[in-house]
Amino acid sequence: MTLTQRQKISTKDAPSAIGPYSQAIVAGGFVHCSGQIALDPKNGQLIEGDVSAQTERALENMKAVLAAAGSDLSKVVKCTVYLVSMEDFAAVNKVYGRYFLGDQPPARSTVAVAQLPRNAFVEIDCTALVG
């Protein structure tokens, strides 16, 4: 694939897109992952549980999309975390920190939003190196 080509990524190991977007696009040596919320990939329903459980499910979904693109969490260069409540920041950080170990965690922004799809508590997207 050349630097000007793009490739759609799709895997059944993560929830299907719930709108007119792709799970991820590979272009220019990077995979650009759409935001993941805590949908169960088996039934497409939001999992039950608190923000910690939802963060873990969202990150597991992201791992599956990255794997389908030929990448993984160690190659993530940037994440954006969207929270319905900034009071959940510490709980999200605790789970997030288990997924991004080592001395070079990705760059990250965290943004408070009014609402997320399916009334989720957290959504996470990322950009990662491929290969």
Residue 96 has a CB neighbour count (10 Å cut-off) of 21
pLDDT digits (tens, 9 = 90+) for 75-124: 999 999 999 999 999 999 999 999 998 899 999 999 999 999 999 999 99
- Tally of domains within the chain: 1
Query: What average pLDDT does the segment 51-76 reach?
Result: 98
pLDDT at 3 over 90: no
For residues 87 and 47, what is the distance between their CA atoms, to the nearest angstrom?
Answer: 20
Give the range of the structural domain holding residue 114, as residue numbers without chain letter: 6-129
Q: Which of 46, 32, 59 is nearest to 127 (CA)?
A: 32
Residue 98 belongs to a domain: yes
111 assigned to some structural domain: yes
Report yes or no on 121 lying in a domain. Answer: yes
1 belongs to a structural domain: no
Contact yes or no for 126/79 (Cβ under 8 A): yes
Burial (CB count <10 Å: 0-12, 13-18, 19+), residue 14: buried
What CATH number is attached to the domain comprising 31? Answer: 3.30.1330.40
Look at 3 and 39; give whichever has higher pLDDT: 39
Residue 1 has pLDDT above 90, yes or no: no
